[in-house]
């Protein structure tokens, strides 16, 4: 059954075990704590948990510097605790995906320790070496301003090694067949322990040619197919969600023309243009980015996100657009990072304005793709700009008004909890919001429920209905004779908007509001005329036929997939 493609419609929630819930009172979140919070996540409507790296690591890049791929960092628990957690998810019908960080290891990894110790080491060729300082050593840094180079001399090795990221993250030589085999083995290991797939870190760099003589790195896309094939041999419904901030013209190389590569990719193009739209009130570049990222295989899916654990990367906008977003959401230098982005969390960026938060989440849930929520964003958590780099948006989850937000009983949480100002845990916490029917938490729960009732978003073909006002974004999805339509007003003033739904006969005349009683009937000319309040949004089912009723008689047909 085609509905088996679970990732086409779902709600993904990402979290770090270390900052979610501490069960044993040592100040560090752990798997046992997370296990206790599964009912919270299930209640929110989350279908898939994405765990950021939790394997043993010196923790110099929030776990993205792994020193053992086959274990659990003892700070978070044991492999046994992981399995209990995986089972707890399974019991509740939730899936788990985990980070797969194989572009590089930690410099403390046994492979690197062995590789640097002697030229004869069996692991020497697992990394990328050069006897001399390569000419391009000061090029291609991912963290400009913090990272000085991409090649560092290692005294023990008597050679230079390549690192796309920080110097403690030596790049694996991913062209080496032994390394490739090890990557498959890592996937196989975690699949066996119950995960449904991977968020693959830094994919363009994983598949890139690497070396001192490489002037222009070339992506070896075939590698993606071999990852995918292996994974699906082991477990048919397992997926890879690729982190690849690439240009739309290369998207199909990542998905594969016939959908034989990555099932999912984060839509960075839409993400950046979405923030521009929120900052400027102009939806036109966003519409363009939707068109540019439209081509994808029927089985592929976009991961649609607002903020994640990294900076909001605005590198693909024009300079003027970037400045507009900086001015609106991160005017202070201390809020910006790596000359290209903003490191704040969503709520403070939007001034804590509930209308704008709902607008942003509503867009995340209705643009083409599967929404990926960052933990704490369901509460409107804030950031701590006193913490360095991206850490400002990685503070512990705020559960209650108990000390340290109920995150830990220790007086020394591993990362300070936000305890001051409007976003302090006394004001922003799950316990309080759970009891308040009008809270952001309960609103998020309702919007997730409704998102699940519009599978057209994940499956359907979409079109943007153009209207003259650039602040209005109207998007319609058609799938299996059902249509849904979403309207967003990106501007603060209320707007009047008129449009018709391009469907034959009576079909487009009635728009049934999915969130309120405020339905719309077209005039004699078939036009809908609406007044949308500032930052307002509308979710409609077109024609108003009961989806559930209708669905039962069309389910037997051979599904037609969008092309």
**CB contact at 8 A, 472 and 533:** no
Q: What is the DSSP string of 297-309?
A: -TT-EEEEES--S
| Counts for the chain of helices (H) and strands (E), in that order | 17, 22
Does the footprint of ligand NOJ cover residue 202 (CB under 6 A)? yes
Tell me how far, at minimum, the Cβ of 201 lies from ligand NOJ, in Å. 5
Which member of 101, 475, 487, 490 binds ligand NOJ (CB under 6 A)?
101
Count the neighbouring beta carbons within 10 Å of the beta carbon of residue 310: 18
Tell me how far, at minimum, the Cβ of 469 lies from ligand NOJ, in Å. 36
The secondary structure of residue 289, as a DSSP letter, is: H
The entry of Ca ion, ligand NOJ, none near residue 481 (CB within 5 to 8 angstroms by kind) is none
Contacts of 355 (CB under 8 A, 6+ apart): 534, 535, 536
**506 belongs to the catalytic site:** no
Q: Give the three-state DSSP class for 53.
A: coil
Tell me how far, at minimum, the Cβ of 195 lies from Ca ion, in Å. 22
Q: Which is nearer to ligand NOJ, 57 or 366 (CB)?
A: 57
Tell me how far, at minimum, the Cβ of 182 lies from ligand NOJ, in Å. 17
Distance CA 360, CA 275 (A): 9
Residue 110's alpha-carbon distances to 105, 122, 176, 299, 527, in angstroms, are 10, 12, 17, 39, 67
Q: Which is nearer to ligand NOJ, 243 or 358 (CB)?
A: 243
Backbone angles phi, psi at 382, to 5 degrees: -105, -165
Binding-site string for Ca ion from residue 28 to residue 67, where x marks contact by CB under 5 A and - marks none? x-x-------------------------------------
Tell me how far, at minimum, the Cβ of 412 lies from Ca ion, in Å. 11
Which member of 61, 81, 282, 478 binds ligand NOJ (CB under 6 A)?
61
Tell me how far, at minimum, the Cβ of 169 lies from ligand NOJ, in Å. 6
The entry of Ca ion, ligand NOJ, none near residue 61 (CB within 5 to 8 angstroms by kind) is ligand NOJ
Does the footprint of ligand NOJ cover residue 363 (CB under 6 A)? no
Q: Chain-centre distance of CA 558, in angstroms? A: 32
Binding-site string for ligand NOJ from residue 205 to residue 244, where x marks contact by CB under 6 A and - marks none? --------------------------------------x-
Closest C-alpha among 232, 367, 201 to residue 299: 232
Give the residue nearest to Ca ion (CB). 30
Does the footprint of ligand NOJ cover residue 171 (CB under 6 A)? no
Which member of 22, 65, 81, 358 binds Ca ion (CB under 5 A)?
22
Which part of the chain contacts Ca ion (CB under 5 A), choosing from 16-24, 94-102, 392-400, 474-482? 16-24
Q: Packing angle between helix 440-452 and helix 354-366, nearest 10 degrees? A: 20
**201 belongs to the catalytic site:** yes
The entry of ligand NOJ, Ca ion, none near residue 151 (CB within 5 to 8 angstroms by kind) is none
Does the footprint of ligand NOJ cover residue 201 (CB under 6 A)? yes
**CB contact at 8 A, 95 and 87:** no
Binding-site string for ligand NOJ from residue 8 to residue 47, where x marks contact by CB under 6 A and - marks none? ----------------------------------------
Does the footprint of ligand NOJ cover residue 165 (CB under 6 A)? yes
Distance CA 275, CA 334 (A): 19
Closest C-alpha among 202, 188, 166, 209 to residue 65: 166
Phi/psi zone of residue 281: left (φ > 0), alpha (ψ -120 to 50 degrees), beta?
Answer: left
Question: Which residues are bridge partners to 464 per DSSP?
Answer: 475
Residue of 243, 282, 378, 445 marked catalytic: 243
The entry of Ca ion, ligand NOJ, none near residue 64 (CB within 5 to 8 angstroms by kind) is ligand NOJ
Per DSSP (E only), the strands in 480-542 are: 482-489, 495-499, 510-513, 520-521, 528-532, 537-542
**Cα Rg for the chain, rounded, in angstroms?**
24
Give the residue nearest to ligand NOJ (CB). 64
Tokens 């394997």 belong to 55
Interacting residue ranges for Ca ion, rule: CB under 5 A: 22, 24, 26, 28, 30
Interacting residue ranges for ligand NOJ, rule: CB under 6 A: 61, 64, 101, 165, 201-202, 243, 309-310
List the catalytic residues.
201, 243
């Amino acid at each position: 059954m085609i509905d088996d493609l679970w990732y086409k419609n779902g709600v993904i929630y990402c979290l770090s075990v270390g900052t979610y819930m501490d069960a044993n009172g040592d100040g560090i979140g752990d798997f046992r704590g997370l296990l206790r919070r599964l009912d919270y996540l299930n209640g929110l409507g989350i279908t898939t948990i994405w765990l950021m790296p939790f394997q043993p690591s010196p923790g110099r890049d929030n776990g993205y510097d792994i020193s053992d791929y086959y274990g659990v960092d003892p700070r978070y628990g044991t492999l046994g605790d992981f399995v209990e957690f995986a089972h707890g998810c399974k019991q509740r019908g939730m899936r788990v995906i985990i980070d797969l960080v194989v572009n590089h290891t930690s410099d403390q990894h046994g492979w690197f320790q062995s590789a640097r110790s002697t030229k004869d080491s069996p692991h020497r060729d697992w990394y990328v070496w050069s006897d001399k300082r390569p000419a391009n050593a000061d090029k291609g840094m991912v963290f400009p301003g913090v990272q000085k180079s991409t090649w560092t001399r290692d005294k023990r090795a008597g050679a230079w090694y390549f690192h796309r990221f920080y110097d403690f993250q030596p790049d694996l030589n991913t062209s080496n067949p032994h390394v490739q085999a090890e990557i498959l083995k890592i996937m196989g290991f975690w699949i066996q322990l119950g995960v449904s797939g991977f968020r693959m870190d830094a994919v363009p760099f994983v598949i890139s040619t690497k070396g001192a003589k490489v002037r222009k790195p070339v992506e070896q896309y075939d590698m993606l197919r071999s990852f995918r094939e292996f994974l699906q041999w082991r477990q048919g419904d397992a997926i890879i969600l690729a982190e690849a901030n690439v240009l739309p013209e290369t998207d199909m190389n990542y998905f594969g023309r016939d959908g034989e590569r990555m099932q999912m990719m984060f839509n960075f193009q839409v993400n950046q243009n979405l923030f521009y739209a929120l900052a400027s009130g102009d939806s036109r570049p966003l519409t363009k980015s939707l068109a540019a990222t439209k081509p994808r295989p029927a089985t592929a899916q976009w991961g649609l996100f607002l903020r994640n654990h990294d900076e909001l990367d605005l590198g693909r906008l024009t300079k003027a657009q970037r400045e507009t977003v900086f001015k609106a959401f991160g005017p202070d230098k201390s809020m910006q990072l790596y000359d290209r982005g903003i490191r704040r969390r969503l709520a403070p960026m939007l001034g804590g304005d509930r209308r704008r938060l709902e607008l942003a989440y509503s867009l995340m849930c209705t643009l083409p793709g599967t929404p990926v929520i960052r933990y704490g964003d369901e509460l409107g958590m804030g950031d701590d700009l006193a913490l360095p780099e991206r850490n400002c948006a990685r503070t512990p989850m705020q559960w209650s008004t108990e000390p340290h937000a109920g995150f830990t009983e220790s007086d020394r949480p591993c990362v300070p909890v936000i305890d001051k100002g409007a976003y302090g845990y006394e004001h922003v916490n799950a316990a309080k919001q759970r009891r308040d029917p009008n809270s952001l938490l309960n609103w998020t729960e309702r919007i997730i429920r409704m998102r699940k009732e519009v599978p057209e978003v994940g499956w359907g073909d979409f079109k943007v209905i153009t209207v003259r006002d650039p602040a209005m974004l109207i998007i319609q999805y058609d799938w299996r004779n059902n249509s849904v339509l979403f309207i967003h007003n990106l501007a603060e003033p209320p707007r009047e908007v008129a449009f018709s739904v391009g469907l034959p006969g009576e079909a487009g005349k009635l728009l049934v509001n999915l969130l309120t009683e405020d339905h719309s009937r077209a005039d004699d000319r078939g036009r809908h005329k609406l007044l949308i309040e500032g930052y307002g949004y509308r979710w409609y089912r077109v024609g108003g036929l009961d989806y559930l009723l209708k669905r039962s008689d069309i389910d037997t047909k051979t599904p037609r997939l969008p092309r």
